[in-house]
Structure 1
Amino acid sequence: MNKKTQLIEACLEHVNKRISSYKDEIETIKDAIENNDKSSDEADDPGNGKLLNDLEKNSLYLNDAYKMMDTLKLINPKLSHDYVALGSLVTTNTTNFFMAISLGKVDIDGTSYFVISKSSPIGEQLLHKTTGDSISFNHTSYSITDIK
């Protein structure tokens, strides 16, 4: 299995866990709202305001997780570009990047990769660069040595 496939699988595992967690949380909140409604008088504030706010937040998080899943589905691990694009494995003089979703550091076979979104600050700088190009981010200079 190639590195891109392994990185995509790590991303999918992370996103699937998030989706499952948000779905569970939404169900818990819905149950709490239902139980509050049944056990309260009209004069009492059942506290549903905070629960509804939590429900809305978790629904937004779930939607974001689904968007991440959609982004991952666009990546073909067998495809390679001459420039940095979605799905690119970018090797620099100091760091390895995988252009996919905002996930952070992932270790594969003893090598660290920073899984980043193309809309992240460093992702925006790397996007469309080619081998030999350099960027500067957070007072660090990155020189692209390879793109797969």
Structure 2
Amino acid sequence: MKLKQELLDICLQDVSKRVSNYKNEISFIKESIESNDKISDEEGESGNSKLLEDLEKNLNYLNEVHKIREYLNRINPNVVSNTVVLGSIVITDSITFYIAISKGKVTVNDEDYYIISIQSPIGQLIKSQSVGYQFEFNGKSYKIKNVL
């Protein structure tokens, strides 16, 4: 299904951008650490400890983004299910969701889609549900009209 592939591509592009940003940040931090290694005073040492913390943080973020990419790679845009699963497009009476990662609102072909994770609160409400299912979220009622 072309639309599912477009939505999946948007998610994959987002993840690729995040990977690139973290790799750039890691490179910058490593360069800063190398520069500080040339400074032997106490200020350089305390600067390095902060940089090492930042390096570890960014390495962890990069690892998480790689896990998200692996998760997205499990989505087959050609799979059609009668119930809400990873990779489903869920059309309600007011909003259309794409079940993948937490990304937010995107527009494809002049239509708005809310890309959400199946682990999100609303994702948990609609997981494994089918057409006709009614639910309430943040005081608003929804009814699933179609699952693609």
Normalising by structure 1, report the TM-score: 0.94
Matches of residues 18-29 of structure 1 in structure 2 within 5 Å? 18-29=18-29
Which residue of the partner structure matches residue 17 of structure 2? 17
Shift of 1:44: 4.3
Q: CA deviation at 1:40?
A: 2.1
Structure 1 counterpart of 2:51: 51
Q: Which runs of 5+ in 1 are unaligned?
A: none
When normalised by structure 2's length, the TM-score is 0.94
Deviation for aligned residue 1:113: 0.4
The 3-state SS of whatever aligns with 2:114 is: strand
Once superposed, what is the RMSD of the aligned Cα atoms? 1.2
- Alpha-carbon shift at residue 111 of structure 1 (Å): 0.3
- 1:77 aligned onto 2:106: no
Indicate the residue corresponding to 1:91 in structure 2.
Answer: 91
Aligned pairs for 1:1-148 (under 5 A) are 2-41=2-41, 43-46=42-45, 47-148=47-148
- Structure 2 residue runs without a partner (length 5+): none
Identity of aligned residues (%): 45
- Distance (Å, rounded) in 2 between the aligned partners of 1:97 and 1:48: 44
How many angstroms apart in 2 are the aligned matches of 1:69 and 1:44? Answer: 39
